[in-house]
């Protein structure tokens, strides 16, 4: 339901002086006329039942920008769940199987090898006879050429010039096991031995440095070394000189139990 109220307001005001009056001159003891005007103003206010009386709206203030508050950083710590228990593998018990013992194979029947008789020893062939020495040759020349012929080597000539040289050399050696050579000598061998045993010195001292020298034989060298105790100390150069084919002449001498033989390229 709507209703209206009338409100009267009396406003008093002092009227102005009548027109025609000039400037006001106040005089003491005089009364001036004053007009009072009364104005009645009627205002209507419309009220709606159920609502309060309208009020003057409050002016909406201008929005003032406010910076948003700083973000709140929140640290969340996650606790890892405890690890799940791992399954423990329980291996089954190991049952040792007995190792079978292999049966040893039967040994084959023994068959003795057929007997083979050793080869027959070669028939001994004596060395060819050395040429008979001449009347002016010393006896050692027969021994030298006998074994050189047996070895298939050419015989050597007796050299009288070389004989004079070797006789000087052995005297200068004076029984010592050493080498003394003069011009014209191309090879020399020296060994101790008696003047009457040139054959033992030739074989045991020089040629049998190589026991299996062709034409001599190991047994011959074994017998010669059994009679003459020579230590060759692995040397073979004396054998090489005595069996060389490049030499043509030879001469030997002995002094104070020391033999020396000189070889030359000339007869």
Give the tens place of pLDDT for each residue, 76-125. Answer: 766 777 776 666 666 677 777 777 777 777 777 878 888 888 887 666 55
pLDDT band at 52 (very low <50, low <70, confident <90, very high): low
Answer yes or no: are the C-beta atoms of 170 and 258 closer than 8 Å.
yes
- CA dist 219 and 216 (Å) reads 8
Q: Which of 175, 179, 164 is nearest to 249 (CA)?
A: 164
pLDDT of residue 189 exceeding 90, the answer is yes
182 has pLDDT over 70: yes
- pTM of the complete model: 0.52
Dist CA 28 CA 26 (whole Å): 6
| Chain mean pLDDT for the chain | 78
Is residue 259 scored above 70 in pLDDT?
yes
The percentage of residues in the chain with a pLDDT greater than 90, rounded to a whole number, is 48
Task: Please give the Cα distance from 126 to 261 (Å, whole number).
Answer: 26
* Percentage with pLDDT > 70 across the chain: 64
CA distance 50 to 55: 15
Spatial contact of 159 and 249, defined as CB atoms under 8 Å apart:
yes
Mean pLDDT, residues 147-167 taken together: 97
Q: Enter the tokens of residue 175.
A: 């029984």
Q: Is the pLDDT of residue 240 over 50?
A: yes
DSSP label at residue 208: G
Q: Quick one: pLDDT at residue 62?
A: 72
Res. 177: pLDDT tops 60: yes
Cβ proximity of 257 and 175 under 8 Å: yes
Q: Is the pLDDT of residue 3 over 50?
A: no
């Amino acid at each position: 339901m709507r209703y209206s109220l009338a409100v009267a307001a009396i406003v008093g005001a002092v009227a102005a002086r009548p027109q025609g009056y000039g400037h006001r001159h106040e005089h003491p003891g005089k009364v001036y006329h004053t007009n009072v005007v009364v104005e009645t103003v009627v205002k209507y206010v419309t009220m709606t039942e159920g609502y309060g009386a309208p009020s003057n709206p409050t002016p909406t203030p201008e929005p003032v920008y406010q910076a948003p508050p700083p973000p709140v950083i929140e640290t969340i710590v996650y606790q890892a769940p405890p690890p799940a228990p791992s399954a423990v593998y329980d291996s089954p018990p190991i049952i040792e199987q007995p190792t079978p013992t292999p049966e040893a194979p039967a040994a084959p029947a023994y068959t003795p090898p057929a007997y083979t008789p050793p080869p027959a020893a070669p028939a001994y062939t004596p060395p060819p006879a050395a040429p008979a020495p001449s009347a002016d040759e010393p006896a050692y020349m027969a021994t030298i050429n006998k074994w050189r012929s047996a070895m298939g080597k050419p015989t050597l000539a007796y050299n009288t010039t070389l004989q004079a040289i070797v006789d000087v050399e052995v005297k200068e050696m004076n029984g010592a096991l050493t080498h003394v050579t003069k011009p014209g000598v191309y090879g020399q061998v020296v060994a101790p031995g008696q003047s009457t045993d040139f054959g033992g010195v030739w074989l045991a001292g020089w040629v049998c440095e190589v026991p299996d020298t062709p034409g001599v034989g190991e047994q011959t060298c074994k017998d010669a070394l059994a009679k003459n105790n020579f230590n060759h100390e692995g040397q073979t150069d004396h054998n090489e000189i005595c069996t060389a084919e490049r030499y043509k002449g030879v001469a030997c001498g002995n002094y104070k139990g020391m033999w020396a033989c000189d070889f030359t390229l000339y007869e």
